[in-house]
Amino acid sequence: MELLRPSNVDQLDEGVYIHGGTEVVPLLRDGILSGERLVDIRGLVPRGVRDATIGAGTTLAELEVDPQIPAALREACRLAASPQLRNMGSIGGNLLQATRCWYWRLKYPCRLHGGDTCFAREGEHREHAIVANDFCASAHPSDVAAALLALDARVRTSQRELPLAELYHVPDEADRNVTRLAAGEVILELELPPVEASVYLKAMDRKKWSFPQVGVAAARAGGETRIALAGVAPVPWLLESADALASGDEWATPLPRTEWKVPVARALVRRAVAALG
Ligand SMILES: Cc1cc2nc3c(=O)[nH]c(=O)nc-3n(C[C@H](O)[C@H](O)[C@H](O)COP(=O)(O)OP(=O)(O)OC[C@H]3O[C@@H](n4cnc5c(N)ncnc54)[C@H](O)[C@@H]3O)c2cc1C
Ligand code: SF4
């Protein structure tokens, strides 16, 4: 494999992009990712926080202690992974991390690997999705993406600018991708609009080093509250409103062994809204 280190976007070739490598290295090792070129993008992706702009190369460890960063994003970073991983892992890489679905990681020929079966739906799915889980029942693992979605962040890439919500796509038969990033496109920066208050709450298996079973981010801006969830759908999930959960269970379509996530999500949303005051 050839290693390239471009220093600006004009020199960028297509290939496997790597920043901190906390996700790319295990996937290469396990043969899930492969290619002829490994492109180290650290030389061209901005790092650091300037007013409301976050360089996509900023690490989670830098964000969790930065007072300029809204509370929901700081907390989502602080509760993610382990200190070592947060020191290496960039926010851009976090948004693009692949599913933790064990069937996918074990290379079962499932729908996200181009096959015609979702093994999790019939098999073991305790950690899986409770919403939009028809085609693929994976649960999006990023705490950070849920926080940014509640904060209504915008993404600047090497080709365009878009709301964070549009970065993601619920996989289906026609398009099995979970993101809409084009080949050769890199995330450069994230832009945060002003926010009055925000919070991130996370249910986890252990107190540390654990992906979200359910994560709930809530943010209030201009008198409106946005709520986004991690760990409940194949993509970070924006709730239409807090009331959507209060009124009944119709918003969720859990699998037999993911039903437990429904009351957890409801309780965390209630607590998050209360915490906003
Ligand atoms: C054991 C473990 C536990 C974890 N726990 C959590 C958790 O609880 N919560 C959570 O939110 N996350 C968790 N993570 C995910 C972790 O935060 C991410 O792996 C990390 O942030 C990825 O950043 P990176 O720079 O290392 O990405 P890399 O590994 O370098 O890249 C990840 C992906 O993003 C692409 N990429 C990277 N940067 C860019 C860019 N700027 N533009 C375009 N493509 C890019 C790469 O091509 C690759 O597909 C965990 C990871 C591990 C391994
Ligand atoms: S949940 Fe998605 S990733 Fe997991 S087996 Fe089903 S199709 Fe594959």
Query: pLDDT at residue 244 above 80?
Result: no
**CA atoms 17, 19, 23, 29: torsion sign:** positive
Q: Is the dihedral of CA 104, 107, 113, 119 positive or negative?
A: negative
Which residue has 């990681």 as its token pair?
Answer: 105
Residue 209 has pLDDT above 90, yes or no: no
Q: Which residues contact 131 (CB under 8 A, 6 or more apart)?
A: 229, 232, 233, 237, 251, 252, 253
Query: What is the mean pLDDT of the segment spanning 202-215?
Result: 93
CA 151 to ligand 1 center in whole angstroms: 20
Considering the chain, what is the average pLDDT of its residues? 96
Residue 3 has pLDDT above 80, yes or no: yes
What fold characterizes domain 46-276? 3.30.465
Radius of gyration of the chain (CA): 18
Q: How far is it, in rounded angstroms, from Cα 213 to Cα 267?
A: 13
Site to probe by mutation for ligand 1, drawn from 23, 75, 216 as the one with most ligand atoms within 8 Å of Cβ, is 23
pLDDT tier at 221, thresholds 50, 70, 90? very high
What is the band of 243 on the pLDDT scale with cuts at 50, 70, 90? confident
The answer on pLDDT for 276 being more than 90 is: yes
pTM of the model: 0.97
Atom of ligand 2 nearest to the CA of 123: 5
Q: Find out whether the beta carbon of 38 lies less than 6 Å from any atom of ligand 2.
A: no
Condensed to tens digits (0 to 9), the pLDDT of residues 59-81 reads 999 999 999 999 999 999 999 99
- Alpha-carbon distance of 79 to 235, in angstroms, equals 19
- Average pLDDT over every residue of 15-29: 98
206 CA to middle of ligand 1, Å?
A: 20
pLDDT grade for 116, boundaries at 50, 70 and 90: very high
Residue 110 Cβ inside 6 Å of ligand 2? The answer reads yes
pLDDT over 80 (residue 248)? no
pLDDT of residue 182: 95
> Looking at residues 168-187, what average pLDDT do you find?
97
Show me where the domains of the chain are located: 46-276
Is 57's pLDDT higher than 80? Answer: yes
Q: How far apart are CA 27 and CA 35, in angstroms?
A: 12
* Atom 34 of ligand 1, nearest CA residue: 93
Asked whether the predicted pLDDT for residue 249 surpasses 80, the reply is no
Percent of the chain with pLDDT over 70: 100
Q: What average pLDDT does the segment 91-112 reach?
A: 98
CB neighbours of 154 closer than 8 A, spacing ≥ 6? 161, 162, 163, 164, 190, 191, 193
Q: Looking at residues 93-112, what average pLDDT do you find?
A: 98
